[in-house]
Structure 1
Amino acid sequence: MSAERPSLPPVRLHTEAELARDALAAPLLARAVRLARWAGPGTRVGAGGELVDAQLPEAAAHLGLADDEDGAAYASEAWRLAVDTGLVDVEDPHEEDGAADDDAEGTVTAGENLTLLTGGSPQDVLAIWLDGLDAVHADATAPAFDDFADLVNEDGSVDFDALDWDPEEEAAFLDGVLGNLYVLTLSDAGPGDGPVPLPALAASVVVPEDMGEPTDEVLEQVSEAMMRLDDQFRVLEPIGIVEYRPVDESLLVEEAEEASPPADDEDVTRYGMVRLTPLGLYGIRERMLEAGVDAPAVGDLADKGADVLLDGLAPYPEDAARAEIGLWLGRREADGAVAAAAELLGAARGADRGAPLRRLHCQQALALAGPAAEPAVREVLDDAELGGLARVWLAERGAADVPAPPESMIFWLAIDTIAAQLDAEGDMGELQELVEGLSGQHSGFFDEAWRVEHPATGEVLEAMGRLHRDRKTAKDARKAAFKARSRAKS
């Protein structure tokens, strides 16, 4: 019964202020900022904006990495990020005077974004960090410099046509992995805040969903993907989107420089573990949104009308729905609980396919609105679509003077409730209990249910016939479904 919905669950993001603090604390960006503040007119850079080799030891020392054997490489990496994110501006000497000398050096000045990082808003900081993420993502999907050794032409250029590397394919592979990690992090069946084993993540993009036992060829592809990802996550970790425990290097020696997927009795943590950080959830979502992916976040609906809220909650799990409703109600505190409840009830009306689920979400929202919503709820006691919902709400709060519902309203509410649960695609065991409970409360339930003037009556009764464990009752439900559909056609 469900309509098409976003395939991704909603993410609960940290506040922009918290995310901006995380971005500024990311090791790579922090180093880039330090180098941007250190740089000046005397900083020597090549025509491409890179620090010249002679300048790297001083840059590494400024970062406190003078004694680190990789200090120069870290300094070079941080400088490139400073250039890519506009923390420094490099004036190309070729543009200035038409020089043809490839050894000509550029001039360095502070970039506008350097000031924004300290004096701008959290949004400014995150925009700069996202530019940095794009740059690091490109680095992570670029071929290793070792791959160029045999591809250098006599003039020093690289023959990329001879290099077996497709930049679009590489980017798509990494984006697919990050997308799977995003979904696993948000999924009820996923690790939540825990790390994901690298073999499982590699398998998620290599092993076909319908494959039972992976073949040796597929396992080899998983191994190759693991080592590819090991390199890429090492590059991505310093920008702050993941926490990564690399593949144990001893495994590479044991298994000829390529770690095979672990056996059942092996310590899976030795094969790499990765976790998306809160900043990573934000960054991956922003990249997906830019690519046109529907990636909802809790809070997206808080400033929308009640109709958009109730329809938009369809793909939300219960805890996320409660959080979204709480934010929506919080935005309407000035108008009062009665006005908010009236808006919700008005949006819950309708005979379209989405209406039962809207009414279910309306019940959830009214539960959070509290007893102050009672006047608005009592206003709809005589409403054919909302009267049953209103009585349930009042009864749950022990309200006095709740009028007994007419029998027609009882059956209509039963059909509407099951229709909503079918559309919500929740736990089938709970739905089965609901079906058996509702049909068991009323003798001759199916003798009356097929007459209910509800657009989902036939579908609901058919579903009850599938779900009910008593064979006779299930048969009665199917007969009632046939009568309801025959009646609808007449």
Structure 2
Amino acid sequence: MSAERPSLPPVRLHTEAELARDALAAPLLARAARLARWAGPTTRVGAGGELVDAQLPAAAAHLGLADDEDGAAYASEAWRLAVDTGLVDVEDPQEGADGEAEGTVTVGENLALLTSGSPQDVLAIWLDGLEAVHADATAPAFDDFADLIGEDGSVDFDALDWDPEQEAEFLDGVLGNLYLLTLSDAGPGDGPVPLPALAASMVVPEDMGEPTDDVLEQVSEAMMRLDDQFRVLEPIGIVEYRPVDETLLTGEGEEATPPADDEDVTRYGMVRLTPLGLYGIRERMLEAGVDAPAVGDLADKGADVLLDGIAYYPEEAARTEVGLWLGRRGAEGAETAAAELLGAARGGDRRAPLRRLHCQQALALVGPEAEPAVRAVLGDPELGGLARVWLAERGAADVPAPPESMIFWLAVDTIAAQLDADGEMEELQELVEGLSGQHSGFFDEAWRVDHPATAEVLEAMGRLHSDKGAAKAARKAAYKARSRQKD
């Protein structure tokens, strides 16, 4: 009975102010900002905007990396990010005294936004930086660039054996899997993911039992590929990464064999998405058209959008989303909010039972101010049952007893909602047996219920009920319901 569902569970993001602080603290962006403030009229850059080699020692010293053997490389990397994110602007290069084309540098408009702009401004700059670093992570690796230069001076890209789209797709797939593992109930949550498991998620077919030697070799290659890429991504703040232990490298192509069952898997690399990483990956997925919901997205929407939107949310995320939605309306708007929820819960479409279930759960968070709106639907054949449940749970007086037809209708609607939600089988079985056991001769009457899902519910009850006699009665009732629908 399930309708189309979002491809990813909802993410609970930090506030934009918190994310902006994380972005400013990302080592690479922080270094880029320091170099942008250091640069001046005498700063010399090459034709591509890169710092000339003669400037790198001073840049590294300004970053406090003068004694680091990789200081010049870190400075060059930070400068490229400053250019890519608009922290500095490079003017058209002109030929210098040595015959080399050199450009001049001015302060970029975005530099001031890092200190005086809004959190959204900071995050927009950081996202530009993430795009640039993502491109660096998927760039080809080569030992001698000179070997790629043809006689006419052009670069022989075919010799790289590199497909930029394929490389970007691979990394995006890995980041998507890491995002999903972080949000999944079966995943590590905020904990790190072993690099071999992440590599295997991209290589090993889901239906494969024991991986073949060829597949294990592919996993090993993917691990080392990811090891390089996560080392590039970590400084922008998207991940926390523990690299592969270099003592594990075989020396043959510098690959590490996937760990055996009894080995310490942490030595093979561990990666964890940061809160900033969750935000950044989600933004990239949204730009690519992926349905990647976030808790809070529905807080300013109508009740109909809310109930449809949380249809397949995990319980805690749905409760939080409803709480944010109600919070926007305040205690003084509780009655109006309850009326909106009840109105949105009506309908005979396939998703209506699940909407009513979430409406009932949402009403549980509304105070006694909602009582007039709830009492107003006591006579409604679709909502009268859940209204009585809400009032009874609060000990309200003068709650009229429901007619028998409403009791059966509510039972069918409740099971239909749980079937759509794909809940735990044991819980669903208990619900089926509990509802059918509350009324003698349940299946003799249930097939007459005027509900669009009656036949499907009875068929499911026939599959789920542990009592063979009751299961047979449910199947017989389902047949009658089908026949009734055809008449």
TM range (shorter): over 0.9
Report what 2:110 is aligned to: 113
Q: Which range moves more in the overlay, 367-376 or 18-27?
A: 367-376
Aligned-pair Cα RMSD in Å: 1.5
How far apart, CA to CA, are the structure 2 residues paired with 1:147 and 1:49?
22
- Matched with 1:33 is 33
TM-superposition CA deviations, 1:435-490 (whole Å, max 9, x none): 11111111111000000000000000001111111111111111100000100110
Alignment partner of 2:405 out of 403, 408, 420 = 408
| Structure 1 position 155, deviation (Å) | 5.4
Alpha-carbon distance in structure 2 between the residues aligned to 1:57 and 1:355: 67
| Alignment check: 8 A CA contact 2:46 2:93 kept | no
The 1:438/1:100 distance shift into structure 2, 3 A limit, reads farther
Aligned partners of 1:47 and 1:102 also within 8 Å: no
> Closer, same or farther in 2 for the Cα pair 1:123/1:255, shift >3 Å?
same
CA contact (8 A) 1:435 1:468 kept: yes
8 Å Cα contact 1:241-1:276 kept in structure 2:
yes
Matches of 2:129 and 2:252 in 1, distance apart? 35
Change (3 A) 1:147 1:30: same
Is the 1:44–1:107 Cα contact (8 Å) retained in structure 2? yes
Per-residue CA deviations over 1:230-278 (Å, capped at 9, x if unaligned) read 0000000000000000000100157762111110000000000000000
Inter-partner Cα distance in structure 2 for 1:147 and 1:397: 76
d(CA) in 2 for partners of 1:458, 1:43: 77
Partner in structure 2 of residue 449 of structure 1? 446
CA distance in 2, matches of 1:222, 1:193: 24
What secondary structure, in the 3-state scheme, does the structure 1 residue paired with 2:323 have?
Answer: helix
Matched residues in 1 for 2:410 and 2:3: separation?
21
| CA deviation vs aligned residue, 1:320-372 (integer Å, no higher than 9, x gap) | 00111011001111751111001100111111111100000101110111222
Opposite residue 88 of structure 1, the aligned amino acid is V
Tell me, in whole angstroms, the C-alpha distance in 1 between the residues paired with 2:475 and 2:36: 73
- Asked if 2 retains the 8 angstrom alpha-carbon contact of 1:36 and 1:87, the reply is yes
Matched residues in 2 for 1:388 and 1:315: separation?
A: 23
Amino acid at match of 1:308: V
1:74 alignment partner in structure 2: 74
Q: Distance in 1 between matches of 2:250 and 2:205?
A: 29
Corresponding letter in the other structure for 2:35: L
Residues 259 and 268 in structure 2, CA contact (< 8 A), matched pair in contact too: yes
Give deviations 1:132-164, integer Å, cap 9, x for gaps: 000000000001242635323345542112210
**Matched position secondary structure for 2:89:** strand
**Between 225-234 and 391-400, the greater mean CA deviation after superposition:** 391-400
Matched, 1:6 2:3: no
Q: How many residues align?
A: 487
Checking the alignment, whether the CA contact within 8 Å between 1:49 and 1:92 is kept in structure 2 is no
Relative distance call for 1:41 and 1:213 in structure 2 (3 A) is: same
Determine the structure 2 residue equivalent to 1:277: 274
Matches within 5 A, 1:144-223: 144-146=141-143, 148-154=145-151, 156-223=153-220
The corresponding residue for 1:56 is: 56
**Distance apart, 1:429 and its partner CA:** 1.3
Question: Residue type of the partner of 2:102?
Answer: E
Kindly provide the amino acid, as one letter, of the partner of residue 215 in structure 1.
T
Secondary structure of 1:89's aligned partner: strand
The answer on whether the counterparts of 2:353 and 2:413 sit within 8 Å (CA) in structure 1 is yes
Which secondary structure does the structure 2 equivalent of 1:257 belong to? Answer: coil
Cα deviation code 1:371-391 (max 9, x no counterpart): 221121111111111010011
Structure 1's consecutive aligned runs of 4 or more residues displaced over 3 angstroms after TM superposition are 99-102, 154-157, 253-256
* Equivalent of residue 359 in structure 1, options 345, 356, 360: 356
CA distance in structure 1 between the aligned counterparts of 2:227 and 2:456, rounded to whole angstroms: 50
Deviation by residue 1:73-96 (Cα, 9 ceiling, x = unmatched) = 0000000000000000001225xx
CA contact (8 A) 1:41 1:108 kept: yes
Q: Match for residue 419 of structure 2?
A: 422
Are the equivalent residues in 2 in contact too, given 1:240–1:277 (CA < 8 A)? Answer: yes
Distance 1:205 1:436 in 2: 42
Structure 2 match to 1:46: 46
- Residue number in structure 1 paired with 2:123: 126
* Aligned equivalents of 1:72, 1:274: Cα separation in 2: 27
Residue matched to 1:468: 465
CA drift at 1:315: 2.1
Stretches of structure 2 lacking an aligned partner (at least 5 in a row): none
